[in-house]
Amino acid sequence: MTHRSTGVTTVFSLGLLTVLLIGLPWAIPAIPGPSGYHLLKTIPVGGTEGWDYVTMDNAARRLYISRENHIVVVNVDSGAVVGKITGLSGTSGMLPVPDLGRGFAMSGGTSTAAIVDLKTVRKIGTVKTGKDPDSFAYDNVTKRVSS
Amino acid sequence: MNSAGSDATAINAADGTVAGTIALDGQPEFVVSDGKGKIFVNITDKSQIVEVAGQTSSSTTTAAASATSPGIRLANGLFSSCEKRSHTTPLPGFSSLIAMAIWHGSSGSSPVDEDPRGPHPGTSGGYDVGDISSSIKRERI
């Protein structure tokens, strides 16, 4: 019992210390320094359509750019357009799931997501979503796409 | 996140089937996954971040009351960009996760999702550690 009480006291003290340590910098407004980010290159994509989410498949070096009614697939090293996923309506973007070789391209206007084969960059199916799917995420544990 | 439907669709990535629909009390704007079975969604018209978890059941925790929050990020903590002031507070029930809602003052300029140490230069916004609205709900996917 005594030991337990000591443990509780220690935890509380650490909590208080954390509050103090975290709280301290907040009293002094800090101006962030340079981020170190700088422009490496510009890849012209063309087209007149608007953009929404841009997603990246790091291993495949591919960038998926949403352009209203289609997704443009660009190789970030060569800058070349390597594919186009068409037939979408008001797309917010495509979620690549490289582990499964699939991507899910949102189609807000039809309240669907197009299932895309990442190798061929072609639609292989469609799944019905709720109304106007917008943002998306993949969870590796549940193997589920949230849209 | 189905922005016009106030819900989210869970899709089994392997076969493209719908696993379920998650009702959200408000308009979802952005979602991040923690890679451990949970997703966090900001409800832009309710100033809330909702946590959704589990294969068969989910619990949602709302936190970080703020102005409209256009985006969230999950790094070593949960960062929420909002339009007004900022505060840092632990998400209820998650001692290891820190919710940092960072947003500008009255300037109306675009939000930042970094620099948790002070107000963004040129704004009148400050930090508000209090003003947290939290509730716990139980839902099923």
The pLDDT tens digits for B22-55 are 888 888 888 888 788 888 887 877 767 777 875 5
Instruction: Give the model's pLDDT for residue A115.
Output: 98
Please answer whether residues A66 and A54 qualify as being in contact, where contact means their C-beta atoms are separated by less than 8 angstroms. Answer: yes
Comparing CB atoms, the residue among A111, A113, A135 nearest residue B1 is: A135
Tokens for B88?
């840092």
Give the residue from A20, A134, A144 with the most B CB atoms within 10 Å of its CB, the best one to mutate: A144
Contact B102, B77 (CB under 8 A): no
Percentage of residues in chain A having pLDDT higher than 90: 67
- Encode burial over B39-73: b for 16+ CB neighbours within 10 A, e otherwise: bbbbbbebbbbbbbbeeeebebbbbbbbbbbbbbe
For residues B28 and B3, the answer to whether their CB atoms sit within 8 Å is yes
Per-residue tokens: A72: 């443009």
Residues linked to residue A81 through DSSP beta bridges, in sequence order: A74
Angstrom distance (rounded) from CA B60 to CA B7 = 13
Please state which of the ranges A37-41, A96-100, B84-88 shows the lowest mean pLDDT: B84-88
Given this model, what pLDDT does residue A103 score?
Answer: 98
Which residues in chain B have Cβ-Cβ distances shorter than 8 Å to A97? Answer: 13
Residue B53 in tokens: 């978890």
Check residue B25 and give its pLDDT.
83
Compute how many other C-beta atoms are within 10 angstroms of the C-beta atom of residue A85.
Answer: 23
Gap between the Cα atoms of A45 and A55, Å rounded? 15
Q: Which H or E run contains B26?
A: none
Instruction: Give the model confidence (pLDDT) of A63-79 as tens digits.
Output: 999 999 999 999 999 99
What pLDDT score does B42 carry?
A: 79
Q: How confident is the model at residue A91, as a pLDDT?
A: 97
Average of per-residue pLDDT values in chain B:
56
In the predicted model, is pLDDT for residue A92 greater than 70? yes
Residue B128 contacts residue B98 (beta carbons within 8 Å): no
**Interface predicted TM-score of the whole assembly (ipTM), two decimals:** 0.73
Contacts of B118 in chain A (CB under 8 A): 25-26, 28-31
What backbone phi and psi angles, to 5 degrees, belong to A11?
-60, -45
Q: What is the mean pLDDT of residues A20-46?
A: 67
Position B34 scores a pLDDT of 79
> Residue A11 corresponds to which amino acid?
V
Put simply, the answer to whether A140 touches B35 (Cβ < 8 Å) is yes
Q: Which residues of chain B have pLDDT under 70?
A: 47, 54-141
Measured between CA atoms, how close is B14 to chain A, in angstroms?
Answer: 7
* Angstrom distances, CA of residue A116 to CA of A41, A91, A95, B32: 28, 14, 10, 21
Predicted local confidence at residue B74, as pLDDT: 55
Q: Does A22 touch chain B (CB under 8 A)?
A: yes
Q: How far apart are CA A75 and CA A61, in angstroms?
A: 6
Within 8 A by CB and 6+ apart from A102, the residues are A96, A115, A116, A117, A118, A124, B13, B16
CB contact under 8 A, A133 and B114: no
